[in-house]
Structure 1
Amino acid sequence: MNELCSHPNYPLQRHIEGVKFLASQFLHEKKLNFTEQQWIQTLVEHIALFHDIGKSHQYFQDYIRGLRVSQQLKTHALLSAFVFMSFIKKYENIHDLWKYLSFIIVKRHHGNLDDWFEEWKQFGIDIEEQLFKQIEAIDFQKLNETYVHFLPVLSNYPFTKGDFENAVRHLFAESRKVRRYMMRWNNENDSLVPYVQFLFLFSLLLDADKSEAGIMQKEVLSFSERCFISSSLIEEYKNKKNWEYSEINSLREKAFKEITNVPIDVANHFYSLQLPTGMGKTLASFQFALRLRKAIEKEKGVIPRIVYSLPFLSIIDQTSAVLEDIFRTNNIVVDQRLFLSHHHLSEMEYSFVHDEERYDTDYDVAKLLIEGWNSEIILTTFVQLFHTIFTNRNKLIRKFHRLANAVVIIDEVQAIPHRYWLVVKEMFRTLAEELNCYFLFSTATTPAIFQKDEIVQLVEPSSYFQALSRVQLFPHVQNNMTIDEFVNQLCLEEEKSYLFIVNTIDCAKYLYEKLMEHICPEKMTFLSTHIPPKERLRRIQQIKDGKYRIVVSTQVVEAGVDIDFDVVYRDLAPLDSIQQAAGRCNRNGLKKGNVHVVSLTDGKRRYASYIYDLVRIDLTHSLLKNCTVIEESEFFSLIEKYFEQLSMKMNNRESLQLLNGIKSLYFDGEATAERIPISHFRLIEEGEDKFDVFIELDEEAKMIFERFEQVISIKDPFERQKQFAAMKASFYQYVVSIPRKVSHKPPILHGIGYINVDMLDDFYDQVLGYKAKSEGMIW
């Protein structure tokens, strides 16, 4: 009771000491030009020292000991920010801009960011009264005893009630002047640098604060320990695998050697690995990333983390399996310090090996370690990566500093929406300059985000495309066809396998039904997001095992699904999607494959128009309509032409608005004609409103839902969240997302659609998945 606490039964002094230590450690492990300056180090240290000084008032101390306290009076961040400002203003070598921004860092370290201008308009009489009440409730003797360890000057000039009250009065008086300064700055600033540096400093505090409270207090592990990874790891793996010779493997080996031997100049920050589908880009990407990691360590004295970013969860699972195989084949014990997967369905499990003993952390620690990207190699989604860079959310910003000095692999880079190309290019340039980030774009279809002279090509892509003759592409897009017309003109050969990829689920279901009139159902299967993930994965494995000759699918098979067919039919789509579809045809070059592009319509409009913007569809149509046959060796020049023309037709309006929002630190608020807030960034367009439906497909699903109901009934919200997180991955294996507008809806239970085993026949087709339309139920 005689000591100020920051957390239950934990001294404020120890917490401040730990946060200061971690923030400094996170800062000094980076090698960045701007962080070498003394004023930055002073700023980081003082942000850490003062971020929780507001916890010294009795209202917070009562709250932390379990007593009931007013919601407003128990707060601490705002008071901490006022006291911080009164102290930091004495440093003349720190620019006013960074004093004002650091005020926001301290004020918002438990919340999301707002428009920075608005932060200085909220100083009403009620806020002033609240702060004075909190100051009145501070035991300054205890406070000085706590802080004299960090600020020896307090032994002669201790904190006083008058000092704190004057800090509040002074900043209230200065607030209008600060707002005028901000208005001028917003009008004059034309750089992304302040945004990047601000998020970096903010993330240092967020990570240090959460890590000290949730990890260091439990004495789990040291953040200074890093894992060694040999730069020859992939070569050793390939040697041990000793794959048999084939023409396609010979080409893969040629590309791998080219990447292994390409000279590395760490002055270059942007690299491209463009190879045809099925040419081993995953291993090649890791090979170059490890070589680059070693070169950066040698020349700059810093060990980069590798962030491997992918657009789809299915590819993350595949890539994770590849990584585990690489390490285990090389007799390396795998733990999460070595590599981890992070996405919205990640299992919160984190283990590490120390002195040949494996230690498993509890859920809360694992969550912090995983969400903080505490690993050498991080496998993550585009959503996690891009929403860490373009965000106002506290939880996401926390890991931003991990991008410093990192090697970032963007796999399937063409999945970045073209409306964001400009803002992504400008942001990546700034991250390269300010945070010393390195980017490797890995794809079969590199979009024209960067000019060719801005990026280092690791291989000459045209030579690999020209060397391939696995498939021929036949465009049939001059005329639209209905599904009936399309099926009636089909001539399927008995000895060949066929994949049909169409643009909407309704189209896919109707096509399947029409094909079933001509083909034995046992030889066919169906894939779409109306089928729960567990069942989709089971069918994909059956396809790999050769069980089905005919597969009808939506775009769920286009990237990252390693299946192979003799013939692929693709409904009209953007050219990069068509090329991805072609990658499911004759992948290993065993015999000539055929890809046919058709233009399907529902009688009113093309199905493509329901999914894709007309700019990309019309451009693809114009490039294909006069072609009779396109050889795989011609794909490269065709896709180059497509992206070149797309970049000229692109509307950069949203990118420009977002850039204006970033430059004016407009984190949240209303969109205007000139700018949109950073919070409006959406990598995935929300599209139509959907709701989740749990489908009780089997006994395991029944047990999972019973467990879900038990978890939902837990009264403690934190324990409830923790228990659900532990089962989330398995729970969502049985969940599909359905448009809210469908007329045929299941009962809603605990906020989610629920189809139990007795309702399956009414709501679920065992082949086609969720029934969006009623078939006349009898109750």
Structure 2
Amino acid sequence: MGIDEVLKLDVPLYAHIPNGKGYNQEKETLEEHSNLCLAYFQRLLEEKQMKIPLDNLWKCYFSSTNSEILAFALRLLRYAILFHDVGKSNPGFQREKMENSAVGKGKLLCGTNHSLLSAIIYLDFCLGLLKQKGFSKSAQKLLKGLIYINAYVISRHHSDLASLQDFSDAFAPSGLACELIGELSEGKIQSYKGLVSLSEGKSESCPKFFERAVRGNNRKQQIGVFIYARLVYSLLVASDYYATSEYGNGVRIKQFGDFDQVEKLKAAYEGAARTEKIRCYEKESYGTVNSFSTQTDINILRNELFLDAEKAFFESQNGSIYFLESPTGSGKSNAAMNLSFQMLNEYRRKIFYIYPFNTLVEQNLDTLLATFGDAKGILEKIAVINSITPIKGEKETDSAEDFYQKSLLNRQFLNYPFILSTHVSLFQTMFGEKKEDVFGFMQLAGSVIVLDEIQSYKNLIWSEIIIFLKAFAELLDIKVIIMSATLPDLAYLTDEAEDVVRLVRDRAKYFSNPLFQNRVQVSYELLDENITFETLFNHMRSQMKKPTKVLVEFINKKSAYKFYGFLQEQEPSDTRIFLITGDDNQAERKRILASIKAETEQNVILVATQVIEAGVDIDMDIGYKDISKLDSEEQFLGRLNRSCLRLGKAFFFDLDSADKIYKNDIRRNREFTLKSQAMREILQSKDFSQYYGPILQRLKDEWNNACNDDNLPLFFSEDVQFLQFPKVEERMKLIDEEDWKVSVFFNRRIVLEDGRILDGKGCWERYKTLLADQKMDYAEKQYHLSIARSEMSFFIYEIDKMADFLTNDHVGELYYIEDGEQYFENGKLNMDLFKKEGALFVQ
């Protein structure tokens, strides 16, 4: 294979010219670049086992395992990689971009662009190649559709995916593709050997034969087309970027972010102290206990959950989607960690841990650090991917350019074996249309994905989520673990519930156990009262016996701030008062939680918003909560009496309406809240299937049968199958645009509890200096960077992306504000003041 199949190489054609940085002084020929791209693609096929997901996708698409057809499909893909830049033979590109005067002087309508031209040349060549094969008419029709998808991806390889419709429109009589075909017919590119299949008239049929070819008979085929286009885009762009980087900077990517020694990772985990204790219990006691109802040691039940889930997996290893449902405090995270390692094998060598909030990402990173603290080399493979964590440095580099180049490529293409991230980041990779979103898509193939607290996802798209997850898992050879204490049976929405593996088979063993079911006594006495801050405070005082730790959760942030202020006005001398909201940064939350945990002599009142619910490691005695959704109430109870060493108490009240806060969420409806006696009984029994059953049925009825754009079958058969990427991204958004956040560094001086003073500007400058320092030993640099990041966390806050404010500096997506102190009151960021003053300042 070579580009000389479509181009005459008697006149030099170039792909890149020296960047002036001194590495490469020679121009790179188009042939050299194309061959290097193909070489990287071949490495991806072999080292990342990409043939497995590709074969899965082709078998699904063709509804066939015909080896000759699969081999030809791979050949078509290789040509897509090889020919993706042949449009650079465009005389305008060669003269103006490559400073190549050896080509003719003709100028094409596409100017100096080359992507669409490359797509046309590829399309024409491969359609001609197909004619030479003796495939059946049905196979030829499907192969034409595949060629068209590959050509579409080539046309977008320097831009966002946009919509296939845009590509189709280009072939209309007045479209650019049609006009370029005419110019190619006229021989305006002297180096091009000429069209063999397309003409101006025939080009109009391209969109039509694609639509006829790819219309899948079932939803899996419809999603398969969507996945295939994204995978081809990711593979093509990765091969292109790696090859370009090797030419431009001499940076050769040596590995693609998989565990090279899976057994070493498993051995390190098995050698951890906690795992060794569980294995000891397995040998001595597992399977010998007949009843756990009188068990007083919660660690015994945690051991049982770990081993029960592992046993269920070993008995169902061919599954794709696994549900791990168990009570808060039962050790789900450790059980999931063990399962993810067990799922790794020769072909599956990457792990994604996905959490709903950045706070949980950081919390679980701490857990991993504690688990693998003594395991050499493991921690270097763990990367946090979110908007507030800097790019992970590349270790084996010789220069500053190499360092930044490799680090950036690794971040763009997710070249890490072990990734901790948020569900927003994952969904951007799975569904985003921006090119940066799709770069790392190939890394999903052959991975284990652990999804935590899936009930926190927008329930309007629960059906779409589980349908997509199932198809992604089967076609890309992924194992997905979905875990929660309140896990909705999303499989019900797919009509294929039998394909989901439930890792906790004896649910009552845990949920009905007194250690979990009765550890918190729930009272509804305040639900019938007209709640005021004074009423709430007086009731709290009546329940507090020093030292008592009380958690008060509001669903409205303004109410939380007001009650915090009210408590401070009461000046209770025997009580420490804290406030945690979404406005607090990571360091502030950590400081508050550590102070609460350490307090043993005074009463504690923690006022909080919903950020306290999911997964936060805190153990309080008494809780007060403004009612919202039943699963939120259960998550709240999980913050009380976690150690099961005493009796916890919870009181629910009704202050703020949940309608505006949980808009479009069925769970806010009165019949699904604690205003209903049925919901109170479910909260006591912990049988959340009785809660989710009617909710899932309503979702299924309302969205699957809608006679509008929300209709679920129509979404998959039209938007997904025909690659309407902007529409798919919009529908699969977990967070509405007005709720997006950016990370902002507020420069100020902070006095720590030990009396040390942190200077924000100094922290910022030290961090920038460290990032640029290439002479420092890698281990030493990582040590100092970890200190710098820890200090910086005291100054970083998450701000609404829609807010208007000016910044003085930035590093990546982290923004710096010089005069940050003006926006703080009593040590707390006044978000209303910041938004008001920032907007005024911008105007």
TM-score, normalised via structure 1 length: 0.81
Alignment of 1:37-52 (within 5 A): 37-52=70-85
Structure 1 residues 386 and 631: alpha-carbon distance in aligned structure 2, compared to 1, 3 A threshold: closer
Contact kept, 8 Å, 1:431 with 1:437, in 2: the verdict is yes
Instruction: Using the TM superposition, give the Cα deviation of residue 541 of structure 1 relative to its aligned residue in structure 2, in angstroms.
Output: 2.6
Instruction: Find the aligned partners of 1:409 and 1:692 in 2 and give their Cα distance.
Output: 25
Q: Deviations over 1:215-252 (max 9, x none)?
A: 68512424498521334543321357759998122221
Alignment of 1:266-277 (within 5 A): 266-277=317-328
Instruction: Find the aligned partners of 1:360 and 1:319 in 2 and give their Cα distance.
Output: 32
Look up the match of 1:495.
Answer: 547
Q: Deviations over 1:671-692 (max 9, x none)?
A: xxxxx44445311123468887
Structure 1 residues 137 and 492: alpha-carbon distance in aligned structure 2, compared to 1, 3 A threshold: farther
Instruction: Find the aligned partners of 2:760 and 2:470 in 1 and give their Cα distance.
Output: 47
Q: Does 2:710 correspond to 1:700?
A: no
Instruction: Using the TM superposition, give the Cα deviation of residue 506 of structure 1 relative to its aligned residue in structure 2, in angstroms.
Output: 0.5
2:200 to 163, 172, 186: 172
Structure 1 residues 125 and 271: alpha-carbon distance in aligned structure 2, compared to 1, 3 A threshold: closer
Contact kept, 8 Å, 1:500 with 1:568, in 2: the verdict is yes
Structure 1 residues 767 and 554: alpha-carbon distance in aligned structure 2, compared to 1, 3 A threshold: farther
Structure 1 residues 220 and 511: alpha-carbon distance in aligned structure 2, compared to 1, 3 A threshold: same
Q: Does 2:788 correspond to 1:770?
A: no
Look up the match of 2:431.
Answer: 390
Instruction: Using the TM superposition, give the Cα deviation of residue 483 of structure 1 relative to its aligned residue in structure 2, in angstroms.
Output: 3.5
Structure 1 residues 457 and 376: alpha-carbon distance in aligned structure 2, compared to 1, 3 A threshold: same
Percentage of matched positions with identical amino acids? 21
Q: Deviations over 1:728-776 (max 9, x none)?
A: 998786354566999xx9877679998755x73x532125431526999
Alignment of 1:54-203 (within 5 A): 54-65=87-98, 73-89=111-127, 90-91=129-130, 92=133, 93=135, 95-123=143-171, 124=174, 140=191, 159-160=192-193, 163=194, 170-182=198-210, 184=212, 190=218, 191-203=222-234
Per mean C-alpha deviation after superposition, the further-off stretch among 91-100 and 217-226 is 217-226
Contact kept, 8 Å, 1:472 with 1:630, in 2: the verdict is no
Q: Secondary structure at the match of 1:362?
A: helix
Per mean C-alpha deviation after superposition, the further-off stretch among 367-376 and 648-657 is 648-657
Q: Does 2:63 correspond to 1:20?
A: no
Contact kept, 8 Å, 1:525 with 1:539, in 2: the verdict is yes
Alignment of 1:727-738 (within 5 A): 734-736=795-797
Q: Secondary structure at the match of 1:267?
A: coil
Instruction: Find the aligned partners of 2:262 and 2:14 in 1 and give their Cα distance.
Output: 44
Structure 1 residues 575 and 323: alpha-carbon distance in aligned structure 2, compared to 1, 3 A threshold: same
Alignment: residue pair count: 714
Instruction: Using the TM superposition, give the Cα deviation of residue 524 of structure 1 relative to its aligned residue in structure 2, in angstroms.
Output: 0.7
Look up the match of 1:717.
Answer: none
Per mean C-alpha deviation after superposition, the further-off stretch among 97-106 and 30-39 is 30-39
Q: Deviations over 1:273-327 (max 9, x none)?
A: 1121122222211211222224xx4xxxx23422221111122122223223333
Contact kept, 8 Å, 1:420 with 1:655, in 2: the verdict is no
Alignment of 1:661-680 (within 5 A): 661-668=718-725, 676-680=727-731
Instruction: Find the aligned partners of 1:775 and 1:268 in 2 and give their Cα distance.
Output: 49
Instruction: Find the aligned partners of 1:198 and 1:775 in 2 and give their Cα distance.
Output: 41
Q: Does 2:287 correspond to 1:238?
A: no
Instruction: Using the TM superposition, give the Cα deviation of residue 212 of structure 1 relative to its aligned residue in structure 2, in angstroms.
Output: 2.6
Contact kept, 8 Å, 1:572 with 1:617, in 2: the verdict is no
Instruction: Using the TM superposition, give the Cα deviation of residue 538 of structure 1 relative to its aligned residue in structure 2, in angstroms.
Output: 2.5
Look up the match of 2:666.
Answer: 615
Q: Does 2:576 correspond to 1:576?
A: no
Alignment of 1:604-643 (within 5 A): 606=657, 609-613=660-664, 615-619=666-670, 622-623=673-674, 625-626=676-677, 634-637=684-687, 639-643=688-692
Q: Does 2:16 correspond to 1:6?
A: yes
Q: Does 2:424 correspond to 1:345?
A: no
Contact kept, 8 Å, 2:459 with 2:665, in 1: the verdict is no
Contact kept, 8 Å, 1:340 with 1:378, in 2: the verdict is yes
Contact kept, 8 Å, 1:272 with 1:455, in 2: the verdict is yes
1:308 to 353, 358, 372: 353
Instruction: Find the aligned partners of 1:730 and 1:66 in 2 and give their Cα distance.
Output: 49
Structure 1 residues 171 and 192: alpha-carbon distance in aligned structure 2, compared to 1, 3 A threshold: farther
Q: Does 2:508 correspond to 1:462?
A: yes
Contact kept, 8 Å, 1:293 with 1:304, in 2: the verdict is yes
Look up the match of 2:735.
Answer: 684
Q: Secondary structure at the match of 1:399?
A: helix
Q: Secondary structure at the match of 1:117?
A: helix
Instruction: Find the aligned partners of 2:116 and 2:435 in 1 and give their Cα distance.
Output: 16
Q: Does 2:463 correspond to 1:422?
A: yes
Contact kept, 8 Å, 1:527 with 1:554, in 2: the verdict is yes
Q: Secondary structure at the match of 1:536?
A: helix
Look up the match of 1:334.
Answer: 378
Instruction: Find the aligned partners of 1:771 and 1:433 in 2 and give their Cα distance.
Output: 45
Contact kept, 8 Å, 1:419 with 1:655, in 2: the verdict is no
Contact kept, 8 Å, 1:425 with 1:449, in 2: the verdict is yes
Structure 1 residues 614 and 775: alpha-carbon distance in aligned structure 2, compared to 1, 3 A threshold: closer
Contact kept, 8 Å, 1:525 with 1:550, in 2: the verdict is yes
Contact kept, 8 Å, 2:620 with 2:639, in 1: the verdict is yes
Look up the match of 1:523.
Answer: 576
Contact kept, 8 Å, 2:556 with 2:609, in 1: the verdict is yes
Structure 1 residues 740 and 388: alpha-carbon distance in aligned structure 2, compared to 1, 3 A threshold: closer
Contact kept, 8 Å, 2:225 with 2:721, in 1: the verdict is no
The alignment's C-alpha RMSD in Å is 4.1
Per mean C-alpha deviation after superposition, the further-off stretch among 479-488 and 545-554 is 479-488
Structure 1 residues 512 and 222: alpha-carbon distance in aligned structure 2, compared to 1, 3 A threshold: closer
Look up the match of 1:450.
Answer: 491
Unaligned runs of 5+ in 1: 141-158, 670-675, 712-726
Alignment of 1:249-398 (within 5 A): 249-262=299-312, 263-294=314-345, 297=346, 302-329=347-374, 331-334=375-378, 336=380, 338-351=381-394, 362-398=403-439
Look up the match of 1:566.
Answer: 621
| One-letter amino acid of the structure 2 residue matched with residue 80 of structure 1 | S
Structure 1 residues 179 and 40: alpha-carbon distance in aligned structure 2, compared to 1, 3 A threshold: closer
Contact kept, 8 Å, 1:471 with 1:631, in 2: the verdict is no
Contact kept, 8 Å, 1:105 with 1:202, in 2: the verdict is yes
Structure 1 residues 768 and 700: alpha-carbon distance in aligned structure 2, compared to 1, 3 A threshold: closer
Unaligned runs of 5+ in 2: 1-10, 19-26, 59-66, 102-106, 282-295, 750-757, 771-787, 838-843
Contact kept, 8 Å, 1:345 with 1:728, in 2: the verdict is no
Instruction: Using the TM superposition, give the Cα deviation of residue 11 of structure 1 relative to its aligned residue in structure 2, in angstroms.
Output: 3.6
| One-letter amino acid of the structure 2 residue matched with residue 6 of structure 1 | H
Q: Does 2:592 correspond to 1:554?
A: no
Instruction: Find the aligned partners of 2:555 and 2:498 in 1 and give their Cα distance.
Output: 36
Instruction: Find the aligned partners of 1:455 and 1:117 in 2 and give their Cα distance.
Output: 35
